[in-house]
Amino acid sequence: MNDRQKRGVAVPEGLNIPPQATCHATYLRKATRRITLLYDALLAPSGLRSTQRSILMQIARCEVASMSELAALLLIDRSALAQNLKPLEREGWVQVQVDPADKRSRLVSLTRAGMDKLLETQPLWQQAQASFEKTYGAERAVVLRQALIDVAAGEYEGADPV
């Protein structure tokens, strides 16, 4: 008798519980958490988390972007972006201002301090990249990155657009 049977919890008919998870989302989340731990640990001396550096880097690529454009590029909703921008703005790394062409829209740009923070974290980020590639394999990392780019760019039936 297994634990479930002892507790009187029967598996409903039609529910298949494989011995190992087969859910793509489960493994993508696990992989993301594992990689985030690596990058966050190596970026820690800078006071910046990997998610924050990603946002700063995306803003740097755009030079200036509306909140909507930036949220779409980062695949997060605008309210989550607004929350993530608050500490970056407090630190003086980003500037959020009203769009003169559309008073309802806000524009996001990097400040000089934000550019300096990216420069400061560049060697730490490179160290994280090298650590991952050493463990996972440089060639495999290139293939994985391309696969993840494809996954992130895909539009999936049943998914809400960001």
Residues 59-110: pLDDT tens digits? 999 999 999 999 999 999 999 999 999 999 999 999 999 999 999 999 999 9
Tokens 């391309």 belong to residue? 146
Strands 64-66 and 102-110: antiparallel
Q: For residues 111 and 89, give the distance between their C-alpha atoms in angstroms, rounded to a whole number.
A: 9
For the full predicted model, state whether its pTM sits above 0.75.
yes
Alpha carbon separation from 154 to 15, 73, 91, 142, 162 (Å, rounded)? 29, 13, 34, 19, 12
At residue 130, the pLDDT reads 98
**What average pLDDT does range 103-127 have in this prediction?**
97
The rounded mean pLDDT for the chain is 92
Per-residue tokens: 31: 């992989």
* Three-state SS at 106: strand
Per-residue tokens: 136: 């996972």
pLDDT band at 6 (very low <50, low <70, confident <90, very high): low
Please, what are the domains in the chain? 26-135 (1.10.10.10)
